[in-house]
Structure 1
């Protein structure tokens, strides 16, 4: 039986966590003593003591005849207090930090980017040399509000070749794909709005949406796209404002959106006020182009975003937003208000790299390397009893199920002790139903030690 002190502390922590997550803003009336006791299944006297202690600490105030209210200024935003507490191995922020801070000796089969030697380094170096020899304003001046006109015209031609009808004036450069989503969130979302995401989806979507204090609903993802029945039900139940997805090489599953699913998805969206944000960051990793919602919709209810951190450089940051022109004009104002100007030098480096004569040949080689690694990594994982969910046609990711009874979070914890950083399934899953899945990056799976450590860690679980 729990001690009274422990129960009192649990009530205090419940209130403090809601204040920290901004679920309770200043001057919010707390549940009555009786209601809080019923909700937490504790005695009324326990809640009375907890509330009295919180009053003494200055967290809440008592207003005779009116109840208890939160006090003080709004709490600093702490993302770790938003949502249920999870193990660090499936906390998106912790996984990101661990991947970004890993030492040179760490092996990272769970990370989401290519090894440095797989990027088009010669093209980047050539762009840097060209810029260093010029007297260009790109070296010193602020960027224009929408970003480089030459880059926007390049993106226009690129999207038109993918059947996305767009003008250069409908495109705005951003610092990254993440920056693009953040601006869109500021533009379209208010705290408490509902956003749909794929389940599983890129884990930083979860972290970023937390910062906007919205309700996140996961839609099960199938090998051909989101589950349409669940998608329709979610629109009916939650009246969501946004749906955030990858239509090309899906992260983390490697799946492609099927044409019939794309059409039905847009029909559902068009019958509501749902806006779709389509992240096309993996476009250059495709060998066979899958449907794009932006092409089918004509940028009416779809916003297209992307960046080049997966194929050009994760260090040289540049992304973009393509949307209806009146929205772009308002997004430009938001961009100026929050960052004043874009990174002119980075965008010029990326543009010169993308238009370098060797980029296309490099991508052909990259497609070959990835195909070879998908085959090799798949074989090694199957030998360990780890089964890919599908056999992807393109990209770097394998979404894999562990042998029966094995837990991905524990596996990640054990492997980390041996210097191998994994990406357990529940870090990608809003429903937390992927406890026996892992995402593997085949480009990061060239070292045999990874599979030796995996075999050892699997043997640790009874």
Structure 2
């Protein structure tokens, strides 16, 4: 699966409502032949990166059924794309998207940069208007589980403040009363801090971008999970940083591999979810956390601890944080409220030693000036009125009821669950088919899936898939998925 350059990532084309296996009228009216119509359709999908380099195109039989044309028409269309250098024919296997050779430009050689991770595909399509109930790859809670009532009450309370307060300039480090409340929240996970240790942001994505911009330079090595969250992989790759993946299993990162990779590559930084890792759902044990800190100290690595799912952990579940063991000496801690409150409530924060905070605040000032104080006040209202804690408890209870039935639904389809998370809303499955192809077919049918390649530092295609248990019980989606899996598992025609 090849790289996509984010500067070319425009809004995706409208998703077709057709369902795999059905028939439909020709795509383009007029005098264009059916062969040209199918060829143009396939070429457009290749250009949009729905079908990416190395992926197998839909089989001749499958596409003829989907498009309501003869197999001869599909073969002729595919052959034309082979002649244009877009497809590669492999006898007995099918047609594949050809890797495109890089263009040679007459200019001075530029420094070697890492491949840009294809984060745009998932990010754009999560915002493309596909309904959450048709989106097993969705990365957030559906609206019905978010804190809309808390947001409404917070906005009402904030509107009662004097106009002079609402009209003043926001504080670059963040609204002080909110930072004071965040210090109390950090104390709940045994991190000793003051407001000087805290910088508010517009979520963990901005937090991580500020950290990467300040601490990393092109050519630096960063250890991440393999798999890991694609937005972080994309931010690193865009900065020319070399990303090295640490393998994960059902229990978390392979610590022997981490130690060996740290010794080999001398990384500047380790990026890790210690709690409810995205996408595997694993939680570090206390022993593992201590070992990670020892590896970081031995090789002088900074640690960025992304704790965006902190509030999904039950109060009675042991979940050690690296920041609590290290007390913000080597560890930079990130968290956010957008996962639990609502995706639109872009309020997160960084906790680190005060000198780091001063440096990161300068980058924030130059890039975005400040986090909007209005949304900071809304979050503060939810935290101080007690409604946020009750909301977290309700959400965790609903997830507990949904989790096992969701796991069993996908296991009944032949998926293998890798680990069995006891909290959160994500599941990491082996689907037994090429999930790049599954995601491409799903997008054509109006469904959003999150293939495992998007969570890999190498973007290697494979059979892994992230599933959101709150958006994966739609009957029509499950029916489509069952039929499509049968087609993908069948021998190529």
> Above 0.5 in TM-score?
yes
Match of 1:12 in 2: none
Match of 2:253 in 1: 226
Match of 1:351 in 2: 380
Equivalent-residue separation in structure 2 for 1:105 and 1:374 (angstroms): 17
Match of 1:366 in 2: 395
Give aligned pairs, total.
388
Normalised TM-score (structure 1)? 0.80
Match of 1:427 in 2: 454
The answer to whether the aligner puts 1:392 opposite 2:426 as a matched pair is no
Match of 2:337 in 1: 308
Match of 1:123 in 2: 150
Change (3 A) 1:266 1:452: same
Match of 1:296 in 2: 325
Match of 2:129 in 1: 102
Secondary structure of residue in 2 paired with 1:316: coil
- Runs of 4+ in structure 1 displaced over 4 angstroms? none
- Deviation of the 1:230 alpha carbon: 1.1
The answer to whether the aligner puts 1:205 opposite 2:226 as a matched pair is no
Secondary structure of residue in 2 paired with 1:400: strand
Superposed CA deviations along residues 299-325 of structure 1, whole A, max 9, x for unmatched, are 111000111110012112111111011
Match of 2:195 in 1: 168
Paired residue for 1:236, among 263, 282, 286? Answer: 263
Change (3 A) 1:246 1:148: same
Superposed CA deviations along residues 71-106 of structure 1, whole A, max 9, x for unmatched, are xxx89x9xxx9517x8xxxx3211110111134487
Which blocks of at least 5 consecutive residues in structure 2 are unaligned? 9-100
Normalised TM-score (structure 2)? 0.75
Superposed CA deviations along residues 232-261 of structure 1, whole A, max 9, x for unmatched, are 111111111111111111100111111111
Secondary structure of residue in 1 paired with 2:174: coil
Equivalent-residue separation in structure 1 for 2:347 and 2:391 (angstroms): 20
The answer to whether the aligner puts 1:449 opposite 2:480 as a matched pair is no
Compare 226-235 and 136-145 and name the one that shifted more. 136-145
The answer to whether the aligner puts 1:342 opposite 2:374 as a matched pair is no
Paired residue for 1:378, among 394, 407, 418? Answer: 407
- Deviation of the 1:135 alpha carbon: 1.2
Alignment check: 8 A CA contact 1:219 1:230 kept: yes
- Deviation of the 1:431 alpha carbon: 3.8
Equivalent-residue separation in structure 2 for 1:281 and 1:136 (angstroms): 33
Change (3 A) 1:331 1:137: farther
Change (3 A) 1:188 1:460: same
Equivalent-residue separation in structure 2 for 1:223 and 1:347 (angstroms): 36
Match of 1:24 in 2: none
RMSD over aligned Cα, in angstroms?
A: 2.3
- Deviation of the 1:341 alpha carbon: 2.2
Alignment check: 8 A CA contact 1:138 1:348 kept: no
Which blocks of at least 5 consecutive residues in structure 1 are unaligned? 1-16, 21-49, 62-68
Equivalent-residue separation in structure 2 for 1:184 and 1:108 (angstroms): 31
Paired residue for 1:152, among 174, 179, 184? Answer: 179
Equivalent-residue separation in structure 1 for 2:468 and 2:254 (angstroms): 25
Match of 2:204 in 1: 177
Q: Which has the higher contact order (CA 8 A, sep 6+)?
A: 2
Alignment check: 8 A CA contact 1:138 1:345 kept: no
Secondary structure of residue in 1 paired with 2:394: helix
Match of 1:141 in 2: 168
Match of 2:296 in 1: 269
Alignment check: 8 A CA contact 2:114 2:241 kept: no
Secondary structure of residue in 2 paired with 1:101: coil
Match of 1:28 in 2: none
Change (3 A) 1:137 1:228: farther
Match of 2:115 in 1: 83
